[in-house]
Amino acid sequence: MRIAIVASTVPAAQQAAGKLNARYGSVATEEADVVVALGGDGFMLRTLHTCLELQRPFYGMKLGRIGFLMNQYRDDDLLERIGRAHPATLHPLEMRVTSTDGEEAVELAFNEVSLLRQSNQAAHLRITLNGEPKIEELVCDGILVSTPAGSTAYNLSAHGPILPLDANVLAMTPISPFRPRRWRGAILPHATRVGLVCLDPGKRPVSATADYHEVRDVLSVEVRQSRQHAVTLLFDPEHNLEQRILDEQFQF
């Protein structure tokens, strides 16, 4: 098995990469059977974006602050652990943004797409689903559309639901909603096309972010699941992603 070892810039990850490279060797990501990522969830997300087109499985080991998408770090039996690992297939969200200057951008998100106010003024947003109006004016600090894998991250912090990995749904969660006061979000079929329009972009500017790709001063955003893109994450059998998502619902 040919592995490509990639590591974040933190010293612990760099030291571990040196040990693993000396023990197992490492090839370029383009030549690898598996990409081994060392770091935290943020580094794993960047690795998924960077290596998406290679269509290789990814095996992460935690050497950062947060490691929900990672396995525990050990430098022994790495190839055997990869061979026993359980795969989890993730489809990202596709974010299409039109900014106030007419520029357009397309980005992918494995965790979530978020819209956030840029100033001290609350955002005023219109929400449509598959072209059909659902909320004419949402007054809030922002809103998230999350994948199941990302539902335990920012979405959970915003009091959104945790989604089972195989549920084929997305979470839409408002951030500090003011009007409608009682609306706490929705669970959407994965094929839903979500439309978000900034109603007062001059006075109430809004930014849109797909994972770590940010676009400022947005006018409108469309979010949908991208079925033509997919990545495979590998997890140790005792800590597979489905079980982690289930267990997360019982953390206090």
Q: Give the catalytic positions in this structure.
A: 41
**Is the bond into 87 cis (omega within 30 degrees of 0)?**
no
Q: Which helix (H) or strand (E) holds 138?
A: strand 132-140
Q: In what order do the strands lie in the sheet with 186-189?
A: 186-189, 169-175, 142-146, 112-117, 206-210, 213-215
Beta bridge pairs of residue 104: 98
**Residue 215 to residues 53, 98, 146, 170, 199: CA-CA distances in angstroms?**
23, 9, 18, 22, 17
d(CA 158, CA 13): 30
Three-state secondary structure call for residue 21: helix
Residue 100 carries which side chain, given as an amino acid letter?
A: T
